[in-house]
């Protein structure tokens, strides 16, 4: 007998696996649909006939289409996304090189946004209808409406170009090569502006949804019972109401992860952060299609994985979902 959580995990896998296959299939047909010879597209501008022939053989463009598709699918799922036209390295190696920088920035932004977003959401639900709550709602709508990369540009204009408090670009000081604690400090210093930019968008979403879920939870009978028993407001808020509302928060984080990753792409461009986002940008500019499609398939798989994790986390948090 499987435990309920294991069963849920299997059910989620049953959705995630077809989705990964769908992403790879979509990419395959996209390359075929692109105007021109797929081999020429993968080979980049002005390839030599030998290189074209090599690509044709490598990708099996001389084979029947179903064989090509199966080969592409098999390679993509095992992480073989081909070779970058620009660096000539395997795409997967290039991605793995850049991935830690993106994880560092995106992860920090998500932690910051979750903590502040939950605090703000709970506080404004606690005083729902008050002027402070209205002000928070207005501010979160504003935060949600500002394009992330523009916020980043404004932060650079004010805090880097104008006030010169923080560095405008990069992940570490270019001229000094710090080690140990000084290096950590240096990277943290460079992270302030990009993390603020990326966190702002997620923070407003988390605050909005947490507030709505908290207002609903605070209206339930178990809150009334807790109040009648004389529980403190803090205990009611966090122990009774938030434990029920946090499922919504986790769901939002999971569902918006794709948007956060896309946001990271533009934020990295604004701040010259050496992560996956820069990779996307450079791949577009150099028309390095194996790198672009590889980075796309890799990111999509990460997004699908994070969604699965967030679903399972919801089930662990709320026994009612396990069924």
CA distances from 281 to 40, 113, 129, 147, 276 (A): 21, 25, 44, 18, 9
CA distance 51 to 35: 19
Query: How is residue 309 written in tokens?
Result: 């994790």
Closer residue to other proteins, CB minimum distance, 120 or 252: 252
Site residues for other proteins per CB under 8 A? 15, 18-19, 22-23, 26-27, 30-31, 33-35, 41, 138, 141-142, 144-147, 149-150, 153-154, 156-157, 161, 168, 255, 257-259, 261-262, 265-266, 269-270, 280-281, 284-285, 289, 292-293, 296, 299-300, 303-304, 307
Query: Shortest distance, CB of residue 115 to other proteins, whole angstroms?
Result: 24
* Of 30 and 188, CB closest to other proteins: 30
Residues in the chain: 323
Query: Minimal distance in Å, beta carbon 182 to other proteins?
Result: 26
Contact 265, 280 (CB under 8 A): yes
Nearer to other proteins, 50 or 164 (CB): 164
CA-based nearest residue to 198, from 83, 93, 117 = 117
CB 59 within 8 A of CB 42: yes
Please report how close the Cβ of residue 175 comes to other proteins at its closest, in angstroms: 18
Closest to other proteins by CB, 142 or 225: 142
Phi, psi of 245 (to 5 degrees): -80, -20
Torsion of CA 207, 211, 213, 214, to 10 degrees: 130
From the CB of 146, what's the least distance to other proteins, in Å? 5
Nearest CB to other proteins, comparing residues 242 and 271: 271
Distance in Å, CB of 56 to other proteins, minimum: 18
Asked whether the beta carbons of 267 and 277 are under 8 A apart, the reply is: yes
Residue whose CB is less far from other proteins, 138 or 184: 138
To the nearest whole angstrom, how small is the minimum distance from the Cβ of residue 274 to other proteins? 17
- Residue 125 or 151 with smaller CB distance to other proteins: 151
CB of 150 to other proteins, least distance (A): 4
Helix ranges, 146-179 (H) = 148-155
Q: How far apart are CA 155 and CA 153, in angstroms?
A: 5
Q: How far is the CB of 205 from other proteins (least distance, A)?
A: 12
Q: Which is nearer to other proteins, 241 or 247 (CB)?
A: 247
Tell me the C-alpha distance between 173 and 132, whole Å. Answer: 41
- CA dist., res. 148 & res. 140, Å (int): 14
Residue 83 pairs in a beta bridge with 90
- How close are the terminal C-alpha atoms of the chain, in Å? 15
């Amino acid at each position: 007998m499987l435990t309920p959580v294991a069963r849920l995990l299997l059910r989620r896998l049953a959705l995630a696996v077809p989705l990964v296959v769908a992403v790879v299939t979509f990419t395959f047909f996209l390359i075929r649909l692109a105007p021109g010879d797929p081999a020429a597209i993968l080979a980049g501008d002005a390839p030599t006939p030998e290189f074209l022939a090599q690509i044709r053989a490598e990708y099996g463009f001389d084979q029947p289409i179903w064989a090509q598709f199966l080969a592409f699918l098999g390679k993509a799922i095992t992480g073989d996304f081909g070779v970058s036209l620009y660096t000539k390295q395997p795409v997967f190696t290039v991605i793995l090189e850049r991935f830690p920088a993106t994880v560092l920035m995106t992860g920090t932004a998500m932690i910051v946004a979750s903590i502040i977003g939950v605090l703000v959401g709970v506080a404004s639900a606690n005083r729902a209808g008050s002027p402070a709550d209205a002000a928070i709602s207005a501010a979160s709508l504003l935060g949600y409406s500002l394009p992330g990369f523009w916020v980043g540009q404004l932060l650079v204009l004010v805090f880097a170009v104008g006030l010169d408090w923080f560095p405008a670009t990069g992940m570490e000081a270019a001229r000094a090569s710090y080690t140990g604690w000084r290096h950590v400090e240096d990277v943290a210093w460079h992270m302030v502006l990009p993390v603020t930019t990326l966190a702002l968008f997620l923070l407003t979403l988390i605050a909005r949804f947490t507030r709505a879920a908290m207002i609903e939870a605070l209206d339930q009978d178990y809150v009334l019972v807790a109040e009648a028993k004389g529980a403190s407001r803090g205990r009611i808020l966090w122990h009774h109401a938030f434990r029920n509302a946090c499922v919504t928060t986790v769901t939002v984080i999971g569902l918006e992860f794709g948007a956060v990753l896309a946001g990271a792409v533009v934020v990295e461009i604004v701040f010259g952060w050496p992560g996956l986002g820069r990779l996307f940008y450079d791949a577009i500019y150099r028309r390095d299609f194996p790198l672009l499609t590889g980075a796309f398939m890799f990111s999509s798989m990460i997004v699908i994985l994070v969604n699965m994790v967030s679903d399972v986390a919801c089930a662990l948090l709320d026994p009612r979902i396990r069924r």
